Structure 1
């Protein structure tokens, strides 16, 4: 008989999807309550880009740092691999 009870308790996704009323998530309820008195302002899809004085230079510097680090790791691995024991 315990097997029959387990089959009856199994969640039926078709039954749940067919429900007439779906309760909103806790976050949705919290935001709805917060925005009831103080609605948020409009937010653009993409914000204005921040002005960076030396945007070109910083990208080259970061690229040089990454490539230098990779080269250093390759040299160190080569040194330890060919070092006699």
Structure 2
């Protein structure tokens, strides 16, 4: 850009930065309009946790993981013995 264009751009940025009133973003305008019609209810700082379902024993999870690992090892061993050389 030429020198005059840079000066005009700098003036515009300075003018915008010094503006007394700045227009809110589109999201802020959207939320303000939505909340004007239907204001949000109070939200606690830490809401109560929902109902907790039954927990499985850690042994059950461990057994499932080890069973899957053993099944993969056995499958790979079987496929290796069936592969032609």
Q: Where in structure 1 are there 5+ consecutive unaligned residues?
A: 73-85
The 1:7/1:36 distance shift into structure 2, 3 A limit, reads: same
User: How many angstroms apart in 2 are the aligned matches of 1:56 and 1:44?
Assistant: 31
User: How many angstroms apart in 2 are the aligned matches of 1:15 and 1:49?
Assistant: 50
**Cα offset, 1:6, TM superposition:** 2.5
Q: Where in structure 2 are there 5+ consecutive unaligned residues?
A: 73-85
**Residues 65-84 of structure 1 aligned to structure 2 (within 5 Å):** 65=65
The 1:57/1:23 distance shift into structure 2, 3 A limit, reads: farther
Tell me which stretches of 4 or more aligned residues in structure 1 moved more than 4 Å: none
Q: Please give the root-mean-square deviation of Cα atoms over the aligned residues, in Å.
A: 3.5
Count the aligned residue pairs. 66
The 1:50/1:61 distance shift into structure 2, 3 A limit, reads: farther
User: How many angstroms apart in 2 are the aligned matches of 1:39 and 1:19?
Assistant: 30
The 1:26/1:57 distance shift into structure 2, 3 A limit, reads: farther
Structure with max Cα Rg: 2
